């Protein structure tokens, strides 16, 4: 079976063609996986501007389809999977309508996909063995749009149930109990700014650009170089750990909700109290970035492990753009392996995090989700498919 998957919930126009063989023990092969990023366009706004994102999806989707079909050597498609929500409504509708048109013209079944679920199932995609190409397309089709694509065979990885899933992206921070494929319960979620948004807004305050998470991570990981070169007596004094100390919002609360807008505000206040010289200094910016990253990581880890213990889960699963953060992955791994849950229930394969390229938005994960829903007969007629900006997992 060959699945064509479409994802336009945010600012990436994504299309993948995935071949599934062997129904009982499925094997997946990604024939093409195209991601047309709009980062360059949204950079100047310091975040995503929905009307622009919609226009770019409209402009790019046919071109991305053409490229995906060419790379996959134009196979006969059997099923279409499309993200219907949650996400930016105008953007979702572009992908949904495109998918509906294809389903109508090719007379194909179509499966509606929840974006959060596809981030969870991205964990079943294995590390990429082939070399990943990230290129700046020069062809008129893709003016200035960086595209990445890869061809990989993917082996099945396993999720053991019950599982706790932490999905952290630019639009969502949710802690979900997964009892089986298709069976979810949201335990906690964000009350204000999500983790990715907090990274993005802090990066804007510090004048670092967009996307914030990626830039902050890169800046923090440059630490040794900067601190060795540090000459600023205000920030490089002996035994001075960090001048910037930020809160860990809701870390000790019993519930599983999150809140990161206070963290962003704390950064803003701290920034405003500094002299113009300090504000612009590399050391101050790096210390603030490091502290913000650490605050977010600590809250996410503490709440996830607490839920894992309470529900005696057999797997802990991460997903979403923020899960691409190396420090988060590293600290999660070590905290999980030190925790009691690891010794009692989890085992070696119990901590799952997707390959980095599959943490951020892509359509390969949508194809995978499409396959699991197709198995459960969730396919629909194209007429019944609608975008749902506030779609929830249940
Ligand atoms: O899942 P995603 O690609 O799109 C949404 O569904 O929102 O996530 C995008 C978010 C952005 O806020 C970006 O700043 C964040 O993921 N992000 C990161 C990293 N890479 C992307 N945050 C922290 N560290 C990273 N390496
Ligand atoms: Zn996403």
In this prediction, residue 334 carries a pLDDT of 93
CA of 149 to the centre of ligand 1 (A): 18
- pLDDT of 270 higher than 80: yes
Rounded to whole angstroms, how far apart are CA atoms 6 and 96?
A: 8
The answer to whether the CB of 325 is under 6 A from ligand 1 is yes
CA of 8 to the centre of ligand 2 (A): 9
- pLDDT of 275 higher than 50: yes
User: Whose C-alpha lies nearest to ligand 1, atom 7?
Assistant: 170
pLDDT in tens, 174-212: 999 999 999 999 999 999 999 999 999 999 999 998 889
Range scoring the smallest mean pLDDT among 15-19, 135-139, 365-369:
135-139
The answer to whether the CB of 293 is under 6 A from ligand 1 is no
- pLDDT of 231 higher than 50: no
Residue 110's DSSP bridge partners are 80, 380
What percent of the chain stands above pLDDT 70?
86
DSSP 82-121: EEEESS-HHHHHHHHHHHHHHHHHHT--EEEEEHHHHHHH
Index of the ligand 1 atom closest to the CA of residue 293: 23
Answer with the residue of higher pLDDT: 342 or 131. Answer: 342
pLDDT in tens, 122-175: 998 866 544 444 444 443 334 333 444 444 444 556 889 999 999 999 899 999
Sign of CA dihedral 271, 275, 276, 279: negative
The answer to whether the CB of 324 is under 6 A from ligand 1 is yes
- pLDDT of 32 higher than 80: yes
**Segments of 100-182 assigned E as strands:** 110-114, 133-136, 146-149, 152-154, 163-168, 173-180
Range scoring the smallest mean pLDDT among 156-160, 262-266, 315-319:
156-160
In this prediction, residue 18 carries a pLDDT of 92
The answer to whether the CB of 114 is under 6 A from ligand 1 is no
pLDDT in tens, 84-114: 999 999 999 999 999 999 999 999 999 999 9
The answer to whether the CB of 11 is under 6 A from ligand 1 is no
Q: What superfamily in CATH does domain 163-348 come from? A: ATPase, nucleotide binding domain (3.30.420.40)
> Are 2-158+355-384 and 163-348 in the same CATH fold?
yes
Rounded to whole angstroms, how far apart are CA atoms 315 and 164?
A: 6
| Residues 367, 372, 375: CA angle, nearest 5 degrees | 120
Residue 371 neighbours by CB under 8 Å, 6+ apart: 1, 3, 18, 20, 26, 28, 79, 81
Do 379 and 79 meet the contact criterion of CB atoms below 8 Å apart? yes
Do β-strands 12-21 and 27-37 pair in parallel, antiparallel, or remain unpaired?
antiparallel
Domain ranges in the chain are 2-158+355-384, 163-348
Mean predicted confidence (pLDDT) in 370-394: 89
In this prediction, residue 127 carries a pLDDT of 60
CA of 320 to the centre of ligand 1 (A): 7
CA of 393 to the centre of ligand 1 (A): 20
Q: What is the mean pLDDT of the chain?
A: 86
**Segments of 38-78 assigned E as strands:** none
The answer to whether the CB of 199 is under 6 A from ligand 1 is yes
The answer to whether the CB of 361 is under 6 A from ligand 1 is yes
Index of the ligand 1 atom closest to the CA of residue 169: 8
The ligand placed nearest to the CA atom of residue 168 is 1
The answer to whether the CB of 214 is under 6 A from ligand 1 is yes
Rounded to whole angstroms, how far apart are CA atoms 342 and 323?
A: 20
CA of 360 to the centre of ligand 1 (A): 6
In this prediction, residue 156 carries a pLDDT of 55
CA of 199 to the centre of ligand 1 (A): 9
The answer to whether the CB of 321 is under 6 A from ligand 1 is yes
- pLDDT of 272 higher than 90: yes
The answer to whether the CB of 171 is under 6 A from ligand 1 is yes
Rounded to whole angstroms, how far apart are CA atoms 363 and 179?
A: 24
What percent of the chain stands above pLDDT 90?
68
In this prediction, residue 223 carries a pLDDT of 57
DSSP state, residue 346 = I
Mean predicted confidence (pLDDT) in 205-223: 90
- pLDDT of 384 higher than 80: yes
Do you find a cis peptide bond into 162, omega within 30 degrees of 0? yes
Range scoring the smallest mean pLDDT among 101-110, 231-240, 321-330:
231-240
Q: Residue 199, Cα to own-chain centre: how many angstroms? A: 13
Structure tokens at 294: 């650490």
Nearest partner of 29 among 38, 37, 19, judged by Cα = 19
In this prediction, residue 128 carries a pLDDT of 58
The answer to whether the CB of 10 is under 6 A from ligand 1 is yes
Do 350 and 318 meet the contact criterion of CB atoms below 8 Å apart? no
- pLDDT of 283 higher than 50: yes
2-158+355-384 CATH fold: Nucleotidyltransferase; domain 5 (3.30.420)
DSSP 210-246: SSHHHHHHHHHHTHHHHHHH---TTTS-TT---S---
CA of 169 to the centre of ligand 2 (A): 6
User: Whose C-alpha lies nearest to ligand 1, atom 11?
Assistant: 170
- pLDDT of 335 higher than 70: yes
Mean predicted confidence (pLDDT) in 289-296: 97
Mean predicted confidence (pLDDT) in 225-249: 59
Which residues neighbour ligand 2 (ion) by CB within 5 Å? Answer: 169, 361
Mean predicted confidence (pLDDT) in 267-292: 95
Task: Determine the residue of 199, 263, 391 to mutate for testing ligand 1's pocket, defined as the one with the most ligand atoms within 8 A of the Cβ atom.
Answer: 199
């Amino acid at each position: 079976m060959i699945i064509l998957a479409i994802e336009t919930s945010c600012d990436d126009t994504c299309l993948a063609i995935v071949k599934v063989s062997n129904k009982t023990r499925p094997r997946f092969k990604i024939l093409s996986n195209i991601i047309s990023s709009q980062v360059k366009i949204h950079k100047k706004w310091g975040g995503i501007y929905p009307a622009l994102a919609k226009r770019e999806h409209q402009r790019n989707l046919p071109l991305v389809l053409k490229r995906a079909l060419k790379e996959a050597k134009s196979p006969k498609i059997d099923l279409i999977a499309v993200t219907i929500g949650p996400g930016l409504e105008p953007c979702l509708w572009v992908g949904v309508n495109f998918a509906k048109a294809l389903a109508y013209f090719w007379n194909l079944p179509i499966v509606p996909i929840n974006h959060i679920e596809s981030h969870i199932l991205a964990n079943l995609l294995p590390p990429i063995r082939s070399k990943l190409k990230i290129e700046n397309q020069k062809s008129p089709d893709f003016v200035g749009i960086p595209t990445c694509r890869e061809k990989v065979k993917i082996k099945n990885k396993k999720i053991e149930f019950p599982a706790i899933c932490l999905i952290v992206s630019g639009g969502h921070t949710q802690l979900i109990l997964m009892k089986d494929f298709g069976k979810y319960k949201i335990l906690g979620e964000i009350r204000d700014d999500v983790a990715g948004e907090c990274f993005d807004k802090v990066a804007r305050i510090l004048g670092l650009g967009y996307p914030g998470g990626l830039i902050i991570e890169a800046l923090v990981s440059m630490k040794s170089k900067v601190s060795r070169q540090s000459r600023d007596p205000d920030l490089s004094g002996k035994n001075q750990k960090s001048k910037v100390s930020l809160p860990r919002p809701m870390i000790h609360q019993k519930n599983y909700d999150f809140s990161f807008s206070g963290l962003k505000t704390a950064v803003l206040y701290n920034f405003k109290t500094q002299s113009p010289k300090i504000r612009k200094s590399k050391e101050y910016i790096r210390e603030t970035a490091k502290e913000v990253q650490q605050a977010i990581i600590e809250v996410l880890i503490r709440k996830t492990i607490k839920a894992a213990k309470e529900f005696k889960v057999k797997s802990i699963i991460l997903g979403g753009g923020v899960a691409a953060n190396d420090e988060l992955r590293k600290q999660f791994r070590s905290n999980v392996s030190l925790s009691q849950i690891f010794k009692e229930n989890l085992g070696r394969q119990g901590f799952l995090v997707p390959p980095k390229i599959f943490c951020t938005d892509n359509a390969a994960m949508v194809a995978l989700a499409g396959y699991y829903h197709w198995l459960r007969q969730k396919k629909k007629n194209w007429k019944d498919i609608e975008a749902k900006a506030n779609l929830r997992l249940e």
